[in-house]
Amino acid sequence: MRTRLQSKGILSAKRTIKHLAGKEKRLMTDVNHCISKAIVKFAVENDVSVIGLEDLTGIRMYTFKTCCRCHHISKNSINGLKFLCKACGFELNADLNDARNIEHRTRDYKIYLRVSWVSVNHRTDNMFD
C-alpha cells in the first residue's frame, strides 16, 4: 500500500503515508512496552536480581555492502535483490547476505564481551591474592 501511495506523489497520498507512519510508530512502541513488561514479570517470578541488556548499536554498519564470505566491502555490490562480491565473485540473495553479516557481527561481539569479562574478572581476582 505504501509503495502505491508513494508512486502517486499527491498531497492526500503523502498525508496518508504520514498517518500510516504514526500508526506504525505507536504499534512498535506498544510491542516494545509489552515485551519489556514480560521481561520484568519473568524476572520477578523467577527471583532474578539483575536484567542485562546488550547494546548492539553500530552492528548493522556496512553489513549490506560486505561479502559474508571474504568480508570485502564494496559500494556497488548489490543489484536489486542479488548480492555479487567484486573481490571473490560470491553471489547470494542480498537480504540473506545482510542477515549472515549481522549474525557474524553479533556472534563476534558476544565473544568479545565474554572474553573481556573473563579477563577483567581474572585481573581483579589476582589483585587480591
Q: What is the value of pTM for the model shown?
A: 0.50
Mean per-residue pLDDT over the chain, rounded = 80
Same structural domain, 76 and 108: yes
Looking at the structure of the chain, the number of domains it has is 2
Are 35 and 58 found together in one domain?
no
Place of cell 535483490: 81
| One domain for residues 20 and 43 | yes
Residues 100, 123 within the same domain:
yes
Asked whether residue 43 falls in the same domain as residue 60, the answer is no
89: Cα separation from own chain's centroid:
26
Do 111 and 87 reside in the same domain of the chain? yes
Q: What is the pLDDT of residues 7-51, one digit of tens each?
A: 666 777 777 777 788 888 899 999 999 999 998 899 889 988 877
Same domain, 74 and 30: no
Domain region containing 58:
54-129
87, 123: one domain: yes
pLDDT (tens digit, 9 = 90+) per residue, 53-106?
Answer: 767 677 778 888 899 999 999 888 888 889 999 999 999 999 999 999 988 888
Helix (H, G, I), strand (E, B) or coil at 45: helix
Q: Are residues 43 and 58 in the same domain?
A: no
